[in-house]
Amino acid sequence: MSELSVDHLLGIKYLNKKDIELIFETADHFKEVINRPIKKVPSLRDITIANLFFENSTRTKLSFELAEKRLSADVINFSSAQSSVKKGETLIDTVNNILSMKVDMVVMRHPNPGAGVFLSKHVKASIINAGDGAHEHPTQALLDSYSIRERLGDVKGKKVVIVGDILHSRVALSNIFALQLQGAQVMVCGPKTLIPKYIDKLGVKVEANLRKALNWCDVANMLRVQNERMEISYFPSTREYTQQFGVNKDLLNSLDKEITIMHPGPINRGVEITSDVADSKQAIILNQVENGVAIRMAVIYLLASKIKQ
Ligand code: CP
């Protein structure tokens, strides 16, 4: 039987093409399961999973919890705001206390880049990175590619532009790695101040003009400006940002072809995307959320299979 090349999911950069194919094939099976009247399988009745969220989340947290429950795992949830982290407990102490309750797998979102890698070196559990600062968000990139594959038939050969705040985005970095592994071409588009200086080393195209970027691509992945990670202003005003980098229906209708619109959420309606685009048939934003459950079931199932060996 095929298995993942990794024991943890810390970032897309640690995966290979075969890993992604295996995750997608497994997700296809689980997508069928979650559309049945009984949406549950008994596969992980012997596995306990802790969801540790040191940063806010709606989609990722709920999606992981649902994926774990659909696989019949035992689940415990931890949110740093109501925990003893506030009393000065370290990350390793927190996690080791949780693991002493016989936990097999940890899903963690943390504001510090590399937190998952650090944890994987110090605790005995399989770690899934649910977003580490501006570094990686691997399950988001997997569900994004899976959604492109579902809508357009394949990821290979497709042209994808990621628009907006690339500098502070873990979604952008994970998507670049995932899309390139599958043979897609990637472009980034946004204010010069929000494009990282190292972008050339990632082998992506850079375009400052949104209309040109949208005319080039098959898919546009619109990102939110991450004000919470900014200590200074990176552009003159939100109004100006929207004028230059926001997508609206008039702009889409004026393009040479119909493109697919994605957004990882949360959306700032009227800033990077207008409601008539977000709620249109061209947008697959809620399909992305739906696919997130099947993708996370696949990742958890495949990593748990390695624990059980
Ligand atoms: N896409 C995403 O990570 O959303 P949340 O922050 O709500 O989990």
Ligand 1, CB within 6 Å, residue ranges: 57-60, 131, 137, 140, 264-266
CA of 60 to the centre of ligand 1 (A): 5
Whole-angstrom Cα distance, residue 125 to residue 127?
6
| pLDDT at residue 246 in the model | 97
For range 82-91, the mean pLDDT? 82
Distances from the Cα of 105 to the Cα of 39, 50, 148, angstroms: 22, 6, 29
CA of 5 to the centre of ligand 1 (A): 26
User: Using 50, 70 and 90 to split pLDDT, how confident is the model at 1?
Assistant: low
Q: Is the pLDDT of residue 308 over 80?
A: no
Q: Is the pLDDT of residue 231 over 90?
A: no
Distances from the Cα of 252 to the Cα of 46, 199, 208, 244, 274, angstroms: 49, 27, 17, 14, 11
The helix (run of H) or strand (run of E) holding residue 304 is helix 285-308
Residue 40 corresponds to which tokens in the numbers above?
Answer: 């549950």
Least confident of 92-96, 151-155, 217-221, 302-306: 92-96
Burial class for 241, CB neighbours closer than 10 Å (0-12, 13-18, 19+): buried
Hey, whose CA ends up nearest to atom 4 of ligand 1? Answer: 59
For range 93-100, the mean pLDDT? 90
Q: Best substitution site from 51, 52, 53, 59 to test ligand 1's pocket, by max atoms within 8 Å of Cβ? A: 59
pLDDT in tens, 157-212: 999 999 999 999 999 999 999 999 999 999 999 999 999 999 989 999 999 999 99
pLDDT in tens, 9-39: 999 999 999 999 999 999 999 999 999 999 9
- % residues pLDDT > 90 (the chain): 86
| pLDDT at residue 227 in the model | 75
Q: Best substitution site from 52, 53, 56, 60 to test ligand 1's pocket, by max atoms within 8 Å of Cβ? A: 60
Break the chain down into helix, strand, coil percent, rounded to 5: 45, 15, 40
